[in-house]
Each structure stands twice: as structure tokens, then as C-alpha cells.
Structure 1
Amino acid sequence: MSCQTLAKAIKDLVMTVASPPRILLIVGGGIAAYKSLELIRLIKKAGLAVSVVLTKAAQQFVTPLSAAALSGDKVYTDLFDLTDETEMGHISLSRQAELVVVAPATANLMASVANGQADDLATTLLLATDKRVLMAPAMNVRMWHHPATQRNLATLRADGVLFTGPDEGDMACGEHGLGRMSEPEAIFGAIQAALKPKARPLNGRHVLITAGPTFEPLDPVRGITNRSSGKQGYAIAAAAADAGARVTLVSGPVSLPTPAGVTRIDVETAAEMHDAVHAALPADVFVGVAAVGDWRAKEIARDKQKKGVDGELTVTLVKNPDILASIGHHPTQRPPLVIGFAAETRNVEVYGQTKLRTKGADAILANDVSKDVFDRDTTNMILIDASGPTAGKHLTKAEVAADLIQYLTTRLK
């Protein structure tokens, strides 16, 4: 090796070691965009480097000059900047960063990325990156709760995108609810957490999870089911896989994407779910989140049943197998930890404690479903185990999943 080559190698090594982690901050178009300036300041104050991309809409709220002054670097706005694109700038920008942050993440940005669109610099970067992505959603409360947004949210989470917020509060439009972008300090805290070496507390563990509803046919057309969306079980499956577990997800009929790194087994009836769960044993943890139907038709009609003259139909129902109890009391393959869920409309804590005793579970997560909570992204949850019930918490389903993973980690130790 020549002296000149050696000197260059040493210089490159020093620059690599000395270079601080770089954040790629994509600012979406929304009133919350003004908070991005404070976020840039916090990132720089911590000694991190930041490259800023402003969407066309974001430039209506934040000027490139303001972002450049705070970041101390060029601000990017156009996919067809010829100087950068001769060197494939959109590729290098997305690869040089340690973390890609989208704040605010508008409904449009989330939809574009969830559906694989790349029609401007921001979305092209998000599809070209091989780094982790953290989104801070910000939108009207009705837009946040819209089924399309929730589908996109589930898709992005399954693809490994991290989220912080949104928060609940007053909005610029005058409405109140979930949709406010998290404050810059909270987003920066999420950035710090994402940059830390990834903990894998469930590495090597097999976590077996059920999710969604079951469907019990009455005839070739009709059947008995329930209103479970599957969101909570899928959130737990994603969190368990992210924590390093080998995850088997036995799912009833839902329209959710399979979380990354999860083995999914689709079933329809409670009997099919029971058989699939037992076939997947042994496991270190069983988490019974599915809303399993308690009854099924004793006989399934071969043809579609007609209304007849009086329009009445009598169906004899018989009990379905109790999946949670069959695992909790399994004579040979009971997992070290068995967790059940209880959705109740009254006496939530009392019924949860009863279920804990009778099902052979180590813990029950009980929630009140007396109000309109189905297909929502938030829930009220009480954890009940041998030490008693915890105080009820109003959490997002992702937060419930994160808390449960922490609980499992502690118990498995």
C-alpha cells in the first residue's frame, strides 16, 4: 500500500469515527410543520447531524431558509435537482442517515408510503431507504380514525415503521381528539430510543398468539361471528417479533397484513383455531387475544336457509372448545407463561379475576367493551395476575403490546 493510499484510508477512518449519527428529517405539509424547527434544534443540540427534506406542502408552513439556518446544512425540496440526481442523491440521502424521521407524517404521506408510491422526493426517499423509519402522525381526528388511515397504519407497522403519537388534544381546526403531532421533546425522545442498540429480550423464545374473531357457519352463506378487528393481537405479534421472539400467529378472518417476521396460520372456526394452537406447541408463551366464539351450530345446513312463512329460524347451539383453558391446564405442554384476554361489558375486574382462576392463566388483560371501542386504535386495559389488578389505563393498542412485552420479559427471567 502506498503512503498516499494509507493516508487516505486513515483520513476516511477518522472521518467515519468522528462523524456523528445523521438523522434524515422529512417534514410533511401540515400546520404542525412549524414544530419541526424546534425538533431540528434539539437534534443539533444533542450533537447529531440532520438533513432536512421539505415537501412542497411543507414549504407553505416552513421556509427552506429557516430549516437550513437551524440544521447548518442544505435543505432538499426537489427530486429533480440535477446536481444531486447525477449522483443518485435520493439514494445516498436515504442511506447516509442512521434514522429517517417523518414529522409531521400527514395522512397523505402515510398513505403514499403504505401503498408503495414514490411521486416526490419525500416518498422516493422513504421507499429507497434501508434504515429504520420513525413517523410522528399529525392530522384531523376524523382523518386519524378513518378506516383507510388505520389500514395504512397497520400496514406501515407491519413493515417495521416506528410511530410516536399522535397525542390527544385541541386542534387547529377547532376539534378535539387524537391527531395532534407529539411535541418535539417527545419525538426527540423517540429518536434517541430508536438510535440505541436494539434490545432483543425475547430472543430464542417461541411466542404463540391468537388474534381476531372466529366465524361459525350456520349454512353455506350465514354464520355467527363477533366484532373483533384483530388489531390488538397483531400489535402484540409485531412487538414480540421485534423483541426477537419466534412468533406463531393463529388468526381468525381479518383484513390486516401479517407483521414482519411473524408466521401466520389462518383459521375460521373456534375448532380450527383450537387445533392450530395445539399443533403449534410447545411454546414459551401463549397469548390468547382472539375473541373466540363460545358457541357453534350443532348442525350446519347444507343449503342456504330460507325465511319461510313466519321468517323464524331455530338453531341449536353447542359449546366450542375453550382454547385458553385447554392451554392453561394442558397436562404436558403448558407454556411457562399463559396470558388471556377478557372483553367484558360489566364487572370487568371481577370477571377478569374469575377467568384468571378458572382458565389456568398466569395473567389476564381485561378491558371494558361496553362502549363503542371496536376497531379503535385505543383501549382501556387492566392487567390482573396473582398480585392483583393494576389500575386501568387508557392506551393505544401498540402501547398495550409494548407493556405486555415488558411484562413477559420480566416474568420469563
Structure 2
Amino acid sequence: MTQINWSEKVNPVVRNLPPSGIRRFFDLVAEMKGVISLGVGEPDFVTPWHIREACIYSLEKGYTMYTSNWGLLELREAVAADVEGTYNIKYNPRDEILITVGVSEAMDLAMRVLLEPGDEVLIPEPSYVSYAPCTTLAGGVPVFIPTGMENGFRISAEQVQSLITPRTKVLLLCYPNNPTGAIMDREELLKIAEVAKQNDLMVVSDEIYDRLTYVGQHTCMASLPGMQDRTVLLNGFSKAYAMTGWRVGYAAGHPDIIGAMTKIHQYTMLCTSITAQMAAMEALKNGQPAMRHMVENYNRRRNLVVQAFRDMGLPCYEPGGAFYAFPQISGTGLNCEEFAEELLKQEQVALVPGNAFGPSGEGFVRVSYAASLDDLSEAFRRMSRFVRRYGVRPKIISTPKQMANGQSA
């Protein structure tokens, strides 16, 4: 009987796609007990009760049917009002907004609509793990814009211009950034917008962390002069409203682009869960106080975590947004994968190796501070003990919880 090579049955593009660097590492975590995980980018808050109650109430009322492929019109109207109120951008909720299954689906749809085989996508790097694979799966070619701690993990208009070729089609942005927490100032974004217009680029802007901005004011790319139709704005409810498992996002843009994305959406996802959409409507209508409370907590933890890393002897860029710190660990003599794996084995603390986000992440690890002060404090006790073994001499430091309470070590 002929031996079947099953891997040859798989599309070679998919076969050659690397697994997520985050999920590969956390397969190890699942096999261990007593691990403090600071790796997954998920709020430690439960979805606020009034949002959960709206979902429960919708079920009691019998809302269990399909919605329009575009999503509930009432939700699209609420999204349009929220974007206009926040950024003074007007979108027609009937044909310029699509409700998606999280921002991840919106990203996939945008790439499939915008790219033809061989088109290039400029991606600031370190970058979220799905951006390059989504580009590849759509037939595009990822072209990375390297950044580092020395420039605050920000890109410049000059960098963007230097990498543009006749095949460049899209500039993909994510600020506040995952994994670094970097933010962009309005002045540089204005320059980048001019480069996009001069070179006829589309911009796909993932702004899922926009409300988690702690330094200055977030600038929405679509709000800049001449950029609304040239930008596919992606956002959602996962981070700001602690709704990761609900899987509700949206895309906003020119009706031709959003209409094309809806064509794919209707043949693949059909529509987002109606109960999740009901919950998202409640989040937009009444979720601002709870959101502000969560953001205030993240900001306090941000300051404590950055200082704790620096006191530990590990240089750490001060993130301006999101809920990640990106400390430099090269002083231990370990590369980022060795650091993360040994820390997990020796001290049962889980972080993400920086190279999961691209070559520029080597020498760093990503740490989510969307965790309780108790977990952060115990994790830092363990990490301080760990780095001391590798020749880094921490100061006598206070844990994040002690610092929050005004105590000294």
C-alpha cells in the first residue's frame, strides 16, 4: 500500500507558516503547576456586570438569530457615534462600518481585500504575531520597519519612505503598540500620512489599544487630513472593556473597501454572534466609567512595573500605552528564548520571548501587567532571584504591591 505524505496535501503557504511564538511557548505553561503567567495579553478584569447582564437579558428576550452580515445596525450606529465623538470622524453606519469576529478577523479581511500576489506590506517591528502571517496568507510580502529602545520603538516618515518600492501597497500600524507599549505623536504621524498620500499607500491601522493611552493623547490615523478614505480603521472591545472572549471588533473605512470586506465576511463568518453584539452595544452606551477605572489601574501598575524592572537591573522602556512592558534582558547573558524558558523552569514565571514579535525583539521579553498586584509582586520576587543567578545585581527593591502601598523593602 502506498504511503501517503499527508503534509503534501496541505497548501504549501500554510504548511510553511510558522506557529505563533506566543502559543508555542504557552504550550509549555499548560504542562506546569504554580505558574504565574504575565504573558497573555488579556485584562485580568472580568467583563463589567452591566455588560454581561445585557447579554443575559438579550437571551431571555429570545435574541438568538442571525444578524445582517454587516452586524446590527444599532451597534454600527453606536460605533459611528463613538468614533465621531472621540476623533471627530464621521462614518456612515450603513456602508462604512462592518462588525467582525474580533479585530483579528477584521485584519484578515482587510489584507485579503487590499492585496494582490506579491504586494508588499510595511510593518513596524517588533510587531504583533499575526500581522506577517495575515499578510502572507493574503498573498502579500511582509517588509519590516525595525525599531528599538533607542528610538522609543517608534517608526519615522523617513524610514517608511526608504522602504517603499513599486510593489508597496499597505502600511500597517498598531499604536499603542503590542508588544512594546510604544505610542506615536501626532507630528510624526502627520509626516507619515504625507508619505502615504504621496506614494498612494493604504493604511491599515489597528487601534485596539487606543483607549489605553497614558502619555499625551492618542491620534487616530483616519482623523488626519486626507487620510479617512485611505485608512482602514480597526478596533474592538477586547482590551478597553475586558471583553476578549466575546470576540467583537469592527472595521471602518471607504464603502468600497468595507463592502469588499463584507463579501468575504458573509461567505466565511456570516455574522458576529448576536448576543456578543448586544453586549458591545451596552459597552458603548454605558461602559465608560468601568473602562476608565480599568485604565487607571493599568496606569498605576505600569509605573510600578517599569520601576521594578529598572531596580532589578534590567533596562525597561517606559510604555506610553497598552498594558505591556518590554524589558531588555541581554545583560543576563541569555538570549530571549533562554531567558523565558529558564525563568519558567526555575521560577515558574511565564513571559513571552521578544523574538516571537520579530528579530528586533531579540534581547527583550514581553510582560503583561494586566495582572493583580499580588501576582506581579510574587513574580518580581522570583525574577529578582533569577537574574541574580546570572550576574545581574538588583538593588534592594520593593515589589509592585509594596510600592503601591508606599512601603519600602
- TM-score category (smaller protein): under 0.3
Query: When you count strand as a share of all residues, which structure comes out higher?
Result: 1
Q: Which of structures 1 and 2 has the larger relative contact order (alpha carbons within 8 angstroms, sep 6+)? A: 2
Query: When you count helix as a share of all residues, which structure comes out higher?
Result: 2
Tell me the TM-score normalized by structure 2. 0.25
Q: Could you say which structure has the larger radius of gyration? A: 1
Tell me the TM-score normalized by structure 1. 0.24
